[in-house]
Amino acid sequence: MHRRIGVTSLAMLAALPGCTRTVDHVTMDASRLVASPPSVRLACAYRLDDVVDARPAGDRAGGLGSHMFVFDDAPGVVRRELAATGMATGGDAGTPVQVRLLQLYLTQNTITKVPVVVLEVAPSGQASFLVRAQKASMNWNGTQNEAYRAYADALSDATTQVALQLNARCAGANGG
């Protein structure tokens, strides 16, 4: 009997006006992902062959507050971020690099937002490696601007990690 009252009470609360929440579906605008210039530049020549979108959730990229984000040109944004580190995006010069975008999403709890970016990077003739950026920050108001800043920070962190690892391989290959 006690259980029935609990279920009935929950059903009544859910039916009250104002207790339901509308989800705002947001198609991401890549131009709003303004990151700081990279703090690390590539020390030797690498050329980006391709960025493959291998996210299991497809174009869904999580959410913040009442906003659910859809990111349909995530590979283009990753390309742009890697180019900012000095990676060539065309031509024949440099060591070819393949990148797989494995994760790109934003999750939250009451006080924290956690953007996640996972990339698998495969320089030609070398072992591939993974980078994971997960820059948690305070969830102030759950706004779109907050979400865009979080995505930009995580993407910037991921590309910095890529540049650092490629630079370490470059120095090792050149005896430095």
Query: Poorest-confidence range of 2-6, 76-80, 153-157?
Result: 2-6
Note whether residue 17 is domain-resident: no
Give the structural domain span for 92: 22-173
Comparing 11 with 102, the larger pLDDT belongs to 102
In a domain, 120, yes or no: yes
Between these two residues, 19 and 64, which has the higher pLDDT value? 64
* DSSP state, residue 96: E
Q: What pLDDT was estimated at residue 21?
A: 65
Q: How many domains does the chain have?
A: 1
Residue 96 has pLDDT above 70, yes or no: yes
Domain for residue 89, yes or no? yes
pTM of this prediction exceeds 0.75: yes
Asked whether residue 60 is domain-assigned, the answer is: yes
Q: Is residue 62 part of a domain?
A: yes
Helix (H) or strand (E) holding 74, with range, is: helix 74-84
Say if residue 140's pLDDT is above 70. Answer: yes
Task: Give the orientation angle of helix 144-173 with respect to helix 74-84, to 10 degrees.
Answer: 50
Residue 2 reports pLDDT greater than 70:
no
Q: Check if the beta carbon of residue 49 is closer than 8 Å to that of residue 96.
A: yes
pLDDT at 7: 46
Q: Is residue 6 part of a domain?
A: no
Integer Cα distance of 68 and 21 in angstroms: 12
The sign one gets for the Cα dihedral 140, 144, 146, 150 is positive
Average pLDDT over residues 42-49: 95
Which pLDDT score is estimated for 81?
Answer: 93
Give domain status of residue 102, yes or no: yes
In CATH, what number is assigned to the domain containing residue 80?
3.30.160.150
For 41, 110, 168, 173, the CA distances from 124, given in Å and listed in that order, are 19, 43, 15, 13
